[in-house]
Homo-oligomer: A and B are copies of this chain.
Amino acid sequence: MTESLASQIEVPAGFEFNAITCGIKASGNPDLALALARDGASAAALFTRNLVVAAPVIVGRKHLQASRGRLRAVLVNSGNANCATGRPGLEACRQSCTQLAKALAIPTAEVLPSSTGVIGVPFPLDKVTSGLPALLQSSSSTPEAACRFVRAIMTTDTRPKIACATVVAGSKRATIFGCAKGAGMIHPNMATMLAYLFTDAEGTPLQLKSMLKTVADRTLNRISIDGDTSTNDTTLLMASGKSGLRLSSPPVRKRFADALGRVCASLAEQIVKDGEGVQHLVRLHIEGARNEPEADQVARVIATSPLVKTAWAGADPNWGRILAAVGRSGISIDPGRVSIAFGKQFVCKHGVVAEFDENAVHEYLSRPEVEIRVHLGRGRASVSFLTCDLTAEYVRINADYRT
């Protein structure tokens, strides 16, 4: 498995990776990961919009500002979110960055910290700092090292999530390597989603930020597993510049943004597919809206309706629940203009039931991936949104009393 995962990774020039077990996770699985750009990299990041934010989000934002978008190291731990841990948590986060910076002889502001795990548990600084020497010792630029990084950032994820792309311009060739973790608390505007995107293209922090925002808004920000936005979400893009492919010209930037979009779309899909208890991936297409924001709003209400999501779990063609969700979305829709299709089969036309073969639609909805189209009959804007069903397994995973 590690071998086959590694074979899919091309590590962009200028990056090294590593991960170890430092003892945060009770399972003994790897829980401390490092990404290094020894010669530095331009960087841009998007963080959670939750007002309750974890210590690493606070520190990360400051570091990126202080370093003016230059980073040399990313230090990620899983198993502890370092959130709602107060001043001691903030201090521990800073200390972990300082210790790593000292060992690397770089400014502390060039370290970006990330955490994912349980909220409200004191941060085990000792475990992290005692792990640093081993973490630094065997870091490497091999795909295997990148695999170690990817696996160590997982929490309830059952599969590692990676995506790669290349961009060619003239004689230059740049690589993008992206990886992510997801599983629960997944909702637009980041969730407990950590996504790291590494490239050897060359761009300014401002160029990276603008591309990252545009791309994420259509990919990583258009997914929902359970409607809960996490306190730790971070998406980071780092560009080492080592390939010599420069993002200064608009056509090259366009090509690079497309490639980045493919990487993020793939990661978004992998995150939803591996959502807690997910049995059905649902591609929701909201069409005929006046504009994108209203299509987006309708998509989010449908994607977070427990009644709609449980019907999907049962492959139940109960389109009335979707129509009812559209009706409470806050958009002044005319129900008599709304149509709904499961795959190619219309089940509701202009607000009223369409003739359809119940068994055939049930069979279609039983597939692991389904497409659902909702046409609002208000205009020409549309949005695609990735979501999933709500299963008894999701409840079991999240109702399990922590022991």
A: which residues have CB within 8 A of B?
Answer: 49-53, 81, 83-86, 118-122, 184-185, 226-231, 304-307, 310-311, 313-316, 318-321, 323-328, 332-333, 335-336, 338, 348, 350-353, 362, 389-392, 394-402
Contacts and interface: CB of A to CB of B under 8 A. Distances in A.
A321 B117 CA distance: 12
Nearest to A332: B51
B84 A313 contact: no
Contact of A310 (B320, B362, B394): B394
Contacts of A323: 52, 84, 119-120, 231
Contact of A401 (B185, B316, B338): B316
Given A84-B335, A400-B314, A228 B51 contact: no
Nearest to A331: B51
A37 to B, nearest CB: 31
B52 A327 contact: yes
Given A185-B307, A227-B306, A229-B324, A402 B316 contact: yes
Contact of A51 (B53, B319, B327, B390): B327
Q: How many copies of this protein are present in the complex?
A: 2
A316 B119 contact: no
Contact of A313 (B313, B320, B352, B399): B399
A401 B118 contact: no
A348 to B, nearest CB: 7
B120 A402 contact: no
Contacts of A333: 51-52
A396 B400 contact: no
A145 B208 CA distance: 72
Contact of A306 (B226, B230, B311): B226
A350 B120 CA distance: 12
17 contacts: A51-B327, A52-B327, A52-B333, A53-B327, A83-B324, A84-B320, A84-B351, A85-B352, A118-B318, A120-B352, A226-B307, A229-B327, A310-B398, A313-B399, A315-B401, A316-B399, A389-B399
Contacts of A52: 323-324, 326-328, 333, 335, 338, 351
Contacts of A53: 327, 335
Given A81-B320, A352-B86, A231 B310 contact: no
A351 B231 CA distance: 13
Contacts of A81: 320
Nearest to A312: B399
Contacts of A394: 306, 310, 395
A155 to B, nearest CB: 13
A119 B324 contact: yes
